[in-house]
Amino acid sequence: MLTTPGSDTVTVSENEEDYVAIPLVDEQRRNAAGDLEVVIAVMGNTGSGKSSLIKLISGQEVEVGSGLEACTETVTAIRMDYQGVKLTLLDSPGFNDIYRSETEILNSISSFLSESYSHGFQLSGIIYLHPISNPRMEGSARLSLRMFRKLVGDDSLSNVILSTTHWSRVSSEEGTRREADLQDKFWKDLLDKGATMMRHTGEHDSALALIDALINKPIVVLGLLYRLSRL
């Protein structure tokens, strides 16, 4: 069962029906002024480059305290005009908190999503970051990927970008080898079901390419958020 947004605990259901994608037409994405609204969440482990990516895209300092709270962490929401669209980027809580269990972390992310939804942020896509500088898919990275999969499900994967970061910290040869490992093993199932894999090299154009890959896709809302809004 999922509790209402703003409550102390949000329990993530294991029922696959909680992850059915809900299509939205453009009229449902427009604000009171008639502007098209697009919201993209940036997720991943702490240190994967979430805030740096948002700063690079927006040109704004990522400040703590936007009025959106997710359990023990403050969520940063950065709004900007982008190609005629009102774009909001959400910096989500990290998956790799060593002081909390998998269930607690999932509940934290779920609370973040439901709180965002209650403030009118209808999620349009997700960018999931993974540092290519990590020599292997260690326990925390595997756990984070498993939790991410539980949150997203299968039907919304076409609106997910799996992006590698920190390319400047590895040689091109080593980075390419690790990238192939992700593509052929750890991310294969997600890619086969619609997710897109991209590099973020740290350049401005590279960051904008991630947004461009999502902004023109047909918009869906995770079934999880849809159900939270109706409780």
User: CATH no. for residue 175?
Assistant: 3.40.50.300
Residue 211's pLDDT is 96
Residue 2 lies in a domain: no
Whether the predicted pLDDT of 198 surpasses 90: yes
Q: Three-state DSSP class for 106?
A: helix
41-67: pLDDT as tens digits: 898 888 899 989 999 999 887 643 333
Confidence of residue 73 (pLDDT cuts 50, 70, 90): low
Whether the predicted pLDDT of 88 surpasses 80: yes
Distances (CA, A) of 106 to 30, 164, 230: 30, 22, 20
Residue 177 lies in a domain: yes
Residue 150's pLDDT is 76
Residue 14's pLDDT is 41
Residue 11 lies in a domain: no
Residue 115's pLDDT is 72
Residue 80 lies in a domain: yes
The alpha-helical segments, DSSP class H, found in the chain are 50-58, 102-118, 139-152, 172-181, 188-192, 204-215, 223-230
Residue 6 lies in a domain: no
- Domain with 193, as residue range(s), is 16-230
* Sign, Cα dihedral of 212, 150, 63, 61: negative
Rank 66-80, 143-157, 185-199 by mean pLDDT and report only the highest.
Answer: 185-199
Residue 200's pLDDT is 97
Q: For the chain, give the mean pLDDT.
A: 75
Residue 3 lies in a domain: no
How does 75-112 read in b/e, with b if 16+ C-beta sit within 10 Å? bbbbeeebeebbbbbbbbbbbbbeebeeeebbbbbbbb
Confidence of residue 3 (pLDDT cuts 50, 70, 90): very low
Residue 30's pLDDT is 58
- Number of neighbouring beta carbons within 10 Å of residue 56: 16
Residue 16's pLDDT is 41
Is residue 69 within 8 A of residue 121, CB to CB? The reply is no
* Least confident piece of the model among 31-35, 127-131, 197-201: 31-35
Residue 1 lies in a domain: no
Domain count, the chain: 1
Task: Identify the residue with better confidence: 224 or 79.
Answer: 79
Residue 116 lies in a domain: yes
Confidence of residue 71 (pLDDT cuts 50, 70, 90): very low
Confidence of residue 97 (pLDDT cuts 50, 70, 90): low
